Amino acid sequence: MTVSSPAKLAYQRKYNDRPEMRRRNALQKRAWRAAVKAGQIHPGDGKAVDHVKALDDGGGNEKGNTRVISARTNAGWRKGTSSYSPSAGRLNR
């Protein structure tokens, strides 16, 4: 297990405390809760709610913009893809 340095943890706390990150986190939680309520996912089942059009790109929590995929796929979308640009921080579209 990787252990983060105190400096990195302090940076992450400050980064996640920004208003735009709080808003994004709230939207993601709202989408997850809606999927749980609809019976699409259950806590601990290894699934996650994915936004077809990313929240950062102007997508929302509309039913047509969310889908249930495996948590592993959702968390690892960057790894092993040739279309990922580290300098841009997102997929090239």
Q: Which residue has the higher pLDDT, 1 or 59?
A: 59
For the chain, report the end-to-end CA distance as a whole number of angstroms. 34
Task: State pLDDT tens for residues 51-76.
Answer: 999 888 888 989 899 999 998 888 87
What pTM does this model have? 0.68
Secondary structure of residue 67 in the 3-state scheme: strand
Strands (E), 1-93: 47-51, 66-70, 84-85, 90-91
Could you give phi then psi for residue 36, rounded to 5 degrees?
A: -65, -45
54, burial (CB in 10 Å: exposed 0-12, middle 13-18, buried 19+) = middle
